[in-house]
Chain A
Amino acid sequence: MSAEENPAAEPAPVIDVQGDGRWMSQHNRFVQECKDAEPDVLFVGDSMVQLMQQYEVWRELFSPLHALNFGIGGDTTCNVLWRLQNGELENIRPKVVVLWVGTNNHEHTADQVAGGILAIAQLLLSRLTKSKIIVLGLLPRGEFPNPLREKNASVNNLLRASLPRLGPVQLLDVGGSFVHSDGTISSRDMFDFLHLTASAYRTISTSLHDLLLQLLEETPQERRASLV
């Protein structure tokens, strides 16, 4: 699906309708961070990424890996694509990129959302030729079964097979434990049935952290070779 056919793969900034320009302020800050920092890991996406940095788990597990957080609440695949094309990948060479976006693509079908995520993965691989990509699966949402859960699961299924065909990209699905046998999601895991609590972030961070360590360990060889 080309960008012309897929609106979810069309880069677009967020227009400032509220009047305080916060989205652009955050984007500009990230562009500046690219000039100053040398991250080994880059997290990019929506509020699922952004909020993680406000919890202890970030300081404990991800800061030590020299990670940068370029999450913006509300972002769709279009917004992330625009940001990455407009400065947020300049001057940095992270070994791993963690991408988590798609749950806010309300205007798009599951096929389109998956296509948007694939487009972002392709952009990352072409700009960061030595990087590996982890795409986090979209989580279930809402207190009870609802169409968005099915949509997000469809996106994950589409990505599972198609992502690895692009290169060193994989899907990491961390949503398995959230839906209980009665079909409900607890507010102890998602305080508003969308965003994660501190304890839920801990739950998902274990496998993510393990995978990151594994991928980071695989890359030092190249670095050492360049020092010779």
Chain B
Amino acid sequence: MSGDSNPAATPTPCQDTQGDGRWMSLHNRFVSDSKGKEPDVLFVGDSLIQLLHEFEVWRKLFSPLHALNFGIGGDATQHVLWRLINGELDYISPKVVVLWVGTNNHGHTPEQICGGLMAIIDVIHQKLPHAHTLVLGLLPRGKSPNPLRERNASVNAQVQAEVASLSHVSFLDMDPGFIQSDGSIAHQDMYDYLHLTPQAYQRVCQPLHERIKSLLDKQVP
């Protein structure tokens, strides 16, 4: 699906509707941060990536891997695409890029969201030909069964299929089983039925940490 016909794959900055320019401040800070650093791992995405940085799990599991965090809350695929095209990848050469975005693509179909993710993967590959991209599966959301859970599951299935043939990309399912037997998600895992509590982050980050480490090990010449 070309960028023209897919809004999820059309690079788009976030408009400053509130009046304090926070999105652009964050983007600019990521670009300038990247000029001084040499991360082995880059995390990029929405609030699920951004908030990860604020909890103990980041310091324990990911700082030691020399990681940078370029998450912005509210971002959809088209926003991350714009950011990566406009400087956030220009000064660094991480070995692994962890990508977690798509749950905020409201109004887009699973096909469009998948197209957006593939567009991001393409840009990363163009700018960082030696990097491996690890795409994280979208989590279920909402307290009870709802259409967004189905949408996210469909995105995951499509992305998983599309990246199967690519050697520089892999997919990781991040759901350790958040949906309970009665179909509900517990607020002890997602305090607002979307964002993870520190204890839920601990749960999902163990396998993520293992996967990143094995990818880094493979990259050692």
A interface, CB within 8 angstroms of B: 17-22, 25-26, 29, 50, 53-55, 72-73, 106, 141-144, 146-149, 187, 191-194, 197-198
Contacts and interface: CB of A to CB of B under 8 A. Distances in A.
Contacts of A17: 106
B142 to A, nearest CB: 3
A193 B25 contact: yes
B106 to A, nearest CB: 6
Given A17-B106, A50-B191, A191 B21 contact: no
Given A54-B191, A141-B20, A192 B73 contact: yes
B20 A25 contact: no
Nearest to A149: B20
- Among A18, A26, A53, A197, which residue has the most Cβ atoms of chain B within 10 A? A18
17 contacts: A20-B193, A21-B142, A25-B193, A26-B192, A29-B187, A54-B55, A54-B198, A142-B20, A143-B25, A143-B29, A144-B21, A147-B19, A191-B50, A191-B53, A192-B22, A194-B22, A198-B55
B148 interface: yes
B54 to A, nearest CB: 6
B22 A198 contact: no
Contact of A73 (B55, B144, B192): B192
B149 interface: yes
Interface residues of B, number: 31
- Among A53, A54, A142, A193, which residue has the most Cβ atoms of chain B within 10 A? A54
Contacts of A193: 20, 22, 25-26
B191 A20 contact: no
Given A19-B148, A21-B144, A198-B54, A53 B191 contact: yes
Nearest to A197: B54
Nearest to B193: A22
Interface in B11-39: 17-22, 25-26, 29
- Among B29, B54, B55, B147, which residue has the most Cβ atoms of chain A within 10 A? B54
B213 interface: no
A22 B192 contact: yes
B119 to A, nearest CB: 23
A194 to B, nearest CB: 6
Given A148-B19, A192-B22, A192-B73, A26 B193 contact: yes
- Among B17, B144, B191, B194, which residue has the most Cβ atoms of chain A within 10 A? B191
A60 B213 CA distance: 34
Task: Give the dominant DSSP class at B's interface.
Answer: loop
B148 to A, nearest CB: 5
Contacts of B144: 21, 25
B154 to A, nearest CB: 14
A183 to B, nearest CB: 13
A144 B17 CA distance: 16
Contacts of A149: 20
B194 A191 contact: no
Interface string B47-82: 000100111000000000000000011000000000
A173 B193 CA distance: 31
A18 B20 contact: no
Contacts of B141: 20, 22
B5 interface: no
Interface string B137-154: 000011110111100000
Nearest to B73: A192
B54 A191 contact: yes
Contacts of B17: 106
